Amino acid sequence: MTKLTIVYYSTYGTAHAMASRLAETAEKQGAEVRLRRARETAPDDVVQGQEAWAAHLEATKDIEVATPDDLEWADAVIMGSGTRYGHVTSQLQSFIDTLGPLWQKGGLADKVYAAFTSSSTKHGGQETTLLAMITTFAHFGGIIVPPGYTDALKFDDGNPYGVGKVVDDGGLNETDTNALDHLVTRVLSIAGRLGS
């Protein structure tokens, strides 16, 4: 049984919906899954000053906060974050910054890694955000498993680096769920082959 950790940060809920879909699909395929959120690091008055942000934080308060142990435990890791100026959110980066001791002892190496992101606009920094996470995975000594164009459905979402979602009020659409399902299936397949 492949052990998969999904670590994400979500301000308003899109990355949470994406992470939840990945977890659901992985569990249906027999994986043992840890779904974890990055700790909120924004000042409380800033969070509470935006109704949707505060509501999402409250709605997801029971999801465990990610720790380095969650990555040490895993055979495969998928990280996700909304874009911030073409990069990952500071909240996810803060989690990544706690991984130094685990990295030093080699505890992040030789695992399968992949990434997902979302942005408010079509050219809102999705590719650079995914590439930033991929760069981090390379520093870990990770086995990076992008979706590439390994299935015709990737021509619909068009992102070979991971999964990217342009946020709209409709939630995840069929293109999004197909791309997420393909990503996690590919991650589990490669992790399974490496583990056998």
pLDDT score recorded for residue 177: 97
Which structural domain, as residue segments, surrounds residue 114? Answer: 3-195
DSSP string, 98-140: GGHHHHHTTTTTT-EEEEEEEESSTTSSHHHHHHHHHHHHHHH
pLDDT score recorded for residue 91: 98
Q: Is beta strand 3-9 parallel, antiparallel or unpaired with respect to 76-84?
A: parallel
Q: How many domains does the chain have?
A: 1
Question: Is 74 in a helix, a strand, or coil?
Answer: coil
CA distance 19 to 166: 15
pLDDT score recorded for residue 186: 98
pLDDT score recorded for residue 158: 86
Query: What is the chain's length?
Result: 196
Q: Is beta strand 112-119 parallel, antiparallel or unpaired with respect to 76-84?
A: parallel
pLDDT score recorded for residue 35: 98
CATH of the domain at 191: 3.40.50.360
Which run of H or E residues covers position 68? helix 68-73
The tens-digit pLDDT sequence of the chain (196 residues) is 999 999 999 999 999 999 999 999 999 999 999 999 999 999 999 999 999 999 999 999 999 999 999 999 999 999 999 999 999 999 999 999 999 999 999 999 999 999 999 999 988 899 999 999 999 999 999 999 999 999 999 999 889 999 999 998 779 999 999 999 999 999 999 999 998 7
pLDDT score recorded for residue 27: 98
